[in-house]
Every structure is written in C-alpha cells, then in structure tokens.
Chains A and B, each alone.
Chain A
Amino acid sequence: MKNTAIKLLIAFSTAIILASCNSGPEPLYDLSDTSYPLRNIDSSRVYFPDDFEGEISVISFIFTHCPDVCPAITANMSNIQRGLKDTTDIQFIEISFDPQRDTPSVLKAYKKRYKLNDQFTFLTGQPETVDSLLKKMEIVAVKTFSDSLVQDSSNYNMRHSNTIYLMDKNGRIRAEYPASVIPPEHVIEDIQSLRNL
C-alpha cells in the first residue's frame, strides 16, 4: 500500500518535471485555467485567453485617453510586429484598463488612428471582469485626478503599469518587459525561442 503511494508520487513528480522541461522555464502567470469574457472592437464576445490559445501572444495594457506613454506602448508593439520576419502564429493584444471610457467603438477608433492591422486585437469589458483579470496578471491601474478637490467622474488620468507580456500557446505568461522602452529585438528573440520549444 505504502509502496504504491511512493510509486505514484514518483510518477507524478516525473510527469511534472517532464512537463516543465518540455515548455521551458516556469511561467510567470498561468491563465490557462480561467477564462475572462471580454469584448472585441465590434462588441463581439471574446474569451481571454481561451480564444488566443494555439498562438503566441504579445500583450499590453493601455487606456486611450493616455496621450503620452500608451501611444508609445502601442508604437512599440507595432515595432515588434515590424521587426518580426515571420508573423505567422503571432497575435498582438491590447487590453484597456479603463473600460469606463474605452468602449469597443473608442478602441476601434484608436486602432484605426494608429493604422494597426488585423493581427491586433483590442479588448475591453465589464469593469469587474477587467479588474479581476488585471489582478491576476498583477497589472496596476489607478485613477488620478489633477485637482484633488474636483473629482470629476469622467475627467481623470491613470497611474498604471508599463508592461508587455509574452504568452505562450497554452495561455501561460512567459516573459514580461517594460512596455514603452523595451528594444523590440529583445521581445523578438524571446518569441523565436518560444517558437522553438
């Protein structure tokens, strides 16, 4: 009886070790067990990360009322796309952490303004859903008001994380970068090694 338990334990541990050897270093976050219902720019329902499994995803977080850093993040995502010789099986996802103002149509206009192609997906959703996803991925986004006395409910800025994540084909976050400043080559290199796993 005890023997069987030990055998099982050994078999189980071996399986875990093999599994982790198979897929490189430990993921930073494993999102594969949860699915978050979000909205695409045409308002259609998208399940994140389920709908994106099977391909490598470059993920960033923005709000479109951001006039300085977020466009720099989007520009960097675009640079990564441009720097890739082969963009098959790669998708670029930008998730809004300001669902209150970033409706699907606002994100649609943003995507158009920055001339991004169909490899780019912009996602928003119910504030509670977005919040729980951000929490899971440890993305910080807090409203800030320039005048602390007048907290106009729609006129605010945000203090936010500056993060790009690389997610593997199985919904696991493998790498993180400072979004607005990371040289695209670094991300491209990691995409190549993820492809070769």
Chain B
Amino acid sequence: MRLPDPITFILLVSCVLFLGCSSESKSEKSTNEVILGKVELANGWARPAAKGQTSSIYLVITNGTASRDTLLGASSPISDVVELHQSIQHDDGTISMEQAGNQVIAAGEKLNLEPGGYHLMLKNINRELTVGDSLSVTLNFARVGSKTITVLTKTQQN
C-alpha cells in the first residue's frame, strides 16, 4: 500500500477539519464537534420502586463547555412525569420536597443530584424497577439540547 504524498495528506486533513468545524455540515453527527467541550452526565443510578410508584434518579451533570447552560427538563420512557426536585431541610429539622426550577450550570461547573438534595423524580412509573434493572433518562438543556444516560437501579449504600 502506498502512503498519500504530503500535499494530498494536508488537503485531506484540512478537509476533515473544515467539515468538522462547519455547523452547516450535514455529514453525520456534527453536534459534538461544534461545541468546545461537552455537557456530560455521569454516575447515574435510580431507586427501586413498584409499578405505579415513584422512583428517583441521581447523577452528576458537568458543564464542560465554555458557556453556561440551563437544565430545562427531563423525560424517560418509564414515566410521563419526570421533574427536578429538591429536598429542603427546614429550621425545625423537618424535611420537605419541592419542585426545583430550571437550573443554570456555569461553564466548567457541576450540578450534583444526590440523596437529600436535588433528584429527578419519576412519578407513576409504568414498570417495576428492581435492583439491577436499567432505564434511560433524557435531560434537556437550553444550549446543547438533549443528552441521554442509561442508569442502573440500586439501593443506596453510603
């Protein structure tokens, strides 16, 4: 096999770079290339729950892009209602849960969804979730659009 001569090689590379940078490009998936960094979803897990009951999902959202982004909402095939909630501790020591509004995540910052704080609440789930089951959830951001993560059902250990 013959290697391409240097000029052809440079032309090829430029072509690839040009295509990658062009937001007009229709070739394959261009969304990842137009963003400098990424919004990443990691460490996701869900709580077990019976069909018709409520589960919650925890995960870490990292905004690795150069601009702030806003979490607008979420959806999942397992529930018609997926809401971002926050558990709040009151002065008298009691705890309640409230729907949290859209969350702005600054560039380079994280939003932690963890027990006792923020969580995605899935109401009236359409199948049972037992330990080991997986499910997917899609988060919608103002800038980067939707991001999907598959999470496992487990019980909290710590």
Contact B94 A68 (CB under 8 A): no
Given A68-B87, A69-B87, A180-B116, residue A160 in contact with residue B95 (CB < 8 A): yes
Given contacts A68-B87, A72-B115, A75-B155, contact A146 B99 (CB under 8 A): yes
A157, B53: Cβ atoms closer than 8 Å: no
Return chain A residues, CB-CB under 8 Å to B74: none
* In contact, A157 and B97 (Cβ under 8 angstroms): yes
**Contact of A69 with B95 in the complex, beta carbons under 8 Å:** yes
A140's contact among B49, B56, B94, B155, by CB below 8 Å, is which? B94
- Is B49 in contact with A113, judged by CB distance below 8 angstroms? yes
The total number of A-B Cβ pairs within 8 Å is: 76
Give the residue of A67, A79, A158 whose beta carbon is less than 8 angstroms from that of B49: A67
Q: Who on chain A is nearest to B96 by CB?
A: A159
Contact size range, B: 20 to 34
Q: What's the least CB distance linking A120 to chain B, in Å?
A: 13
Q: Which range contains the number of A residues in contact with the other chain?
A: 20 to 34
Complex-state Cα separation, A160 to B94, whole angstroms: 5
Contact residues in B for A180 (Cβ distance below 8 Å): 95, 115-116
Per-residue CB contact flags for chain B residues 88-101 toward chain A (1 = under 8 Å, else 0) read 01101111110100
Q: Quick check: A68 and B116 within 8 Å, CB to CB? A: yes
**B65, chain A: closest CB distance, angstroms:** 29
B17 at the A/B interface (Cβ < 8 Å)? no
Return chain A residues, CB-CB under 8 Å to B92. Answer: 140
Alpha-carbon separation in the docked complex, A103 to B51 (Å): 16
Instruction: Tell whether A144 is near chain B: CB-to-CB under 8 Å.
Output: yes
Contact between A75 and B93 (Cβ–Cβ < 8 Å)? no
The 7 closest A-B pairs by CB, nearest first: A159-B96, A75-B156, A67-B56, A72-B115, A67-B54, A113-B48, A162-B95
